[in-house]
């Protein structure tokens, strides 16, 4: 479903991605983790062209993301993305947040878009809040709406960029539960997160990054249970993060 091949990216003289390669198969859930500044979010944003690259190739299904002729707007309509800070339109109510892109991008009739939106709000337990505005919702509720909005576009892939990092601790579980349900249903997902409990429970593979490089790319059981076979940098990361 996704192929990242020898991708490098610079910000001026700073190399933020260094010869990164990875493959994500259809239905896989891949967690990307690592210390702050390691390039995790940047790598994920290259998958739908939000971050251009100077070297390498990226494919999503049969689309070459790095080809300058590729219509990135069309690609992004099929690659859902959920950010740290929700990115909901504050002047639209919850229902209209889900309807807008369906009618403008997918050209769905309004009635069909509204029906699809309500179905997805029910799925994330937000149906009762359809007429409320984002400012009247908790962080966890806003993030669940953001997930539903991405799903309304019928994506073939979902990208999650630290979706719980801006949430209060008691709100994290409700968002992770929605993500777990997506994983159980076979959605192809790349998740940048420090939630190692989620990684252990749901992911198929873990990619560990440091200083712009993919240091580890292995099955989740190998990453967590066979730490003596991991790199020193990955072991140090796990020792620190699993203490908390």
Q: What angle do CA 165, 118, 48 make, to 5 degrees?
A: 45
Radius of gyration of the chain (CA): 18
| CATH code matching the domain that covers 1-71+192-243, chosen among 2.60.40.10, 3.40.50.1820, 3.40.50.300, 3.40.50.1860 | 3.40.50.300
Two tokens, residue 51 = 């971050």
Residue spans of the chain under pLDDT 50: none
**Structure letter (DSSP) for residue 7:** E
Q: What angle do CA 90, 156, 141 make, to 5 degrees?
A: 30
Instruction: State the number of CA atoms in the 13 A half-sphere of 93 facing the CB.
Output: 12
What is the rounded CA–CA span in Å between residue 235 and residue 239?
6
What is the rounded CA–CA span in Å between residue 172 and residue 234?
25
Dihedral sign for Cα 215, 7, 154, 25, please. Answer: negative
For 171-222, write each residue's pLDDT tens digit: 888 889 899 999 999 999 999 998 888 898 899 999 999 999 999 999 999 9
CB atoms within 10 A of CB 241: 13
Two tokens, residue 185 = 């249903």
Whether 241 contacts 44, CB under 8 Å:
no
What is the rounded CA–CA span in Å between residue 203 and residue 162?
15
Two tokens, residue 235 = 């072991």
Phi, psi of 128 (to 5 degrees): -70, -10
The pLDDT of residue 82: 93
Residue 30 region, left (φ>0) first, then alpha (ψ -120 to 50), else beta? beta
Each domain of the chain, given as residue ranges in start order, spans 1-71+192-243
The pLDDT of residue 55: 96
């Amino acid at each position: 479903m996704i192929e990242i091949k020898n991708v490098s990216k610079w910000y001026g003289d700073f190399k933020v991605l260094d010869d990164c390669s990875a493959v994500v198969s259809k239905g896989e859930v891949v967690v990307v983790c690592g210390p702050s500044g390691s390039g995790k979010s940047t790598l994920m944003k290259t998958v739908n062209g939000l971050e251009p690259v100077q070297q390498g190739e990226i494919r999503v299904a049969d689309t070459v993301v790095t080809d300058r002729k590729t219509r990135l707007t069309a690609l992004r309509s099929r690659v859902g993305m959920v950010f740290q800070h929700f990115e909901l339109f504050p002047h639209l109510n919850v229902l209209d947040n889900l309807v807008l892109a369906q009618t403008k991008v997918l050209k769905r009739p309004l009635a069909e878009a509204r029906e699809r939106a309500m179905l997805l709000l029910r799925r994330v337990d937000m149906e009762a809040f359809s007429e409320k505005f984002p400012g009247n919702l908790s962080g966890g509720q806003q993030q669940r709406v953001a997930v539903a909005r991405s799903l309304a576009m019928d994506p073939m892939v979902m990208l999650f960029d630290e979706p719980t990092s801006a949430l209060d601790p008691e709100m994290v579980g409700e968002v992770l539960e929605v993500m777990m349900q997506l994983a159980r249903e076979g959605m192809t997902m790349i998740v940048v997160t420090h939630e190692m409990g989620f990684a252990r429970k749901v992911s198929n593979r873990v990619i560990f990054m440091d200083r712009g490089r993919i240091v580890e790319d292995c099955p989740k059981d190998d990453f967590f249970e066979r730490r003596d076979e991991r790199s020193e940098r990955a072991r140090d990361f796990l020792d620190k993060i699993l203490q908390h």
